[in-house]
Structure 1
Amino acid sequence: MANLRAGLIGLGMMGRHHARVLRELPGVDLVAVADADGDPHGAAGPLPVLHGVEELIAAGIDVAVCAVPTAMHEPIGLALADAGVHTLVEKPVAHSVVAGERLVEAFARRGLVGAVGHIERYNPALQALRTRIADGQVGEVFQIATRRQGPFPARIADVGVVKDLATHDIDLTSWLAQSRYVAVTAQTTTRSGRPHEDMVAVTGRLENGTITNHLVNWLSPMKERVTIVTGSKGAFVADTLTADLTFHGNGVIDTEWDSVANFRGVSEGDVTRFAIPKPEPLRVEHEAFRDAVLGLRDHTVSLAEGLETLRTAEWVLGSAERTGADLPV
């Protein structure tokens, strides 16, 4: 069978990595790239840099990766859907829920694979964590907490930290727990002089009763990507920067002091860091997209899932607006 003919639109900070992986991916040929602003990172290689999505479609592509700024996801995605091109759209799926709904409908109507690049799902530490949660190794899940902090990335201009970064945490949390958000409360602030929020603190609750907490910002000099899942048997800590997964087991301390024994607490037990394979998440994401297009298996993050994450992100922003007022003194 002939290789899939792939096109890439957007040659910025993320697009350059998509170009590299597409060139390495078995069963896929990168045949066309486009960016109205040129190729600042030299990602095009020998390919001419086309100016827009129409030229990309005219190159005769089967699949596309959309790595343009968020505001352009909807028009470019709709053009690709109308042309019958299976598409992987970088996250967030769109700039608004209404735009996301139009994308979901367009790809569904044509029977096309539409996927969202929520790359954290493909991180080895989180993949292993999800398997171990499903196996019952942490017991009943009580809480999922994440910290995603670091300096401002030059690639972002048109959305704030909630839609750019916190969408990672919203998506991975629902995916790990296999449950959707039913409540969120948030606080945001803007400290860098840019038009969008650059720091958020979110608490939430999932439909299955799991409580959540997310600290996300672009204002920290150190980079941190940590997910902690606490359950009845202990806690998993996943560091997605290093793809390390550690389990802190509950210890058991017997006591004859009745008033203390009646308190059902836990103590520190054994700590285990797992040795796990560590493939590149972006490559695994592309393999999943390729396999879905070929009809082999579908491990993609669907447009509908991306839309649910975006809807939750907008709830977060709405909550921050409603709770922004100070308490009376």
Structure 2
Amino acid sequence: MMKGLKKWRLFSLLAVMTVFLSACGEDYISTLKPAGAVGKEQLNLLLFSITIMALVVIVVSFLYLYAFVKFRRSKQGENHMPKQVEGSHTLEVIWTVIPIILLLILAVPTLISTYKLADVKAMDEVDEEGNKSALTVNVTAKLYWWEFEYPEQGIVTAQELVVPTGEKVYFNLKAADVKHSFWIPSIGGKMDTNVENVNKFYLQFDEESKDLEEGVFFGKCAELCGPSHALMDFKVKTLAPEEFEDWVASMQATEGQVASPDSTDLGEATFANSCLACHAVSGVGASGAMGPNLTTFGDRNRVAGVLEHNKESLEKWITNPESVKPGNLMTGKYGELSEEEISAVADYIMSLSVEE
């Protein structure tokens, strides 16, 4: 008796936790609080499917309880034999047709949404001057960071995707090493990034991120890709269209910007000698760099995608990146740097910014 009660207590506790946890989730990372047209449509489809499945569970449970109560032995007697329905064509048709109808009810809107959200023909449309009318971002997933290239604007950044609100943004997704998966929970998705081929889809960002607690939406890698998979985050900054154009102009204005090994600033000189081979400090260029572009590092929300954005975290990352993200591919002369040089490099990198 006591064992049975303990099992029911555990079940009740899990049920209560499920109810409470279902309400958890911040605006910047919750699929249940979508901030984009794609995410809203996917949530509506999810709720519709849950409603259909809940209806099936309720009906089946009712029939079970009804039979359990009506045909119990104490009421019908020991020798009661229920009506035999074996071979009933009517029943066979009913329990075959009803599931087919339910599957069609689920399948039709699912297929419509799938094809709608996969329609990327507008990605190739051009205006009268031959310029592409839609914003396209080339996303490259790497161990364990993200690179974002804006081919029409001629700029590239890393770890923080910047997009305008109120319009469709098209993505070309690929991976540089192993399979990853691009996912912005509050906006929509997700889609795999493969080494062999490019996947394409679009998202729409309806709300500006500046009003969020963190100031950005959170993006994740949703495909197990190695020991630091859980730490392969990126951030999404959504701006009003005119602010996005200002950001693009600020990035384009960094063309030719480079760290000088002859600089009198110890941090810049050390960076030029030890880091510049892998990390660019100009936002103008193409994808394919060995390490993340650092042009906007001072404007970011995190260090290495997961640490607090401050000098101490950056020094920790420079000193021993393996302790932060096991299996990452950062290599270089940072192991030979003195504490003074590491501090100076951290100051220089934190100063890199395009936002006023």
Higher strand proportion (structure 1 or 2): 1
Higher helix proportion (structure 1 or 2): 2
User: TM-score, structure 2 length as denominator?
Assistant: 0.22
Task: Select the structure of larger CA radius of gyration.
Answer: 2
User: TM-score, structure 1 length as denominator?
Assistant: 0.24
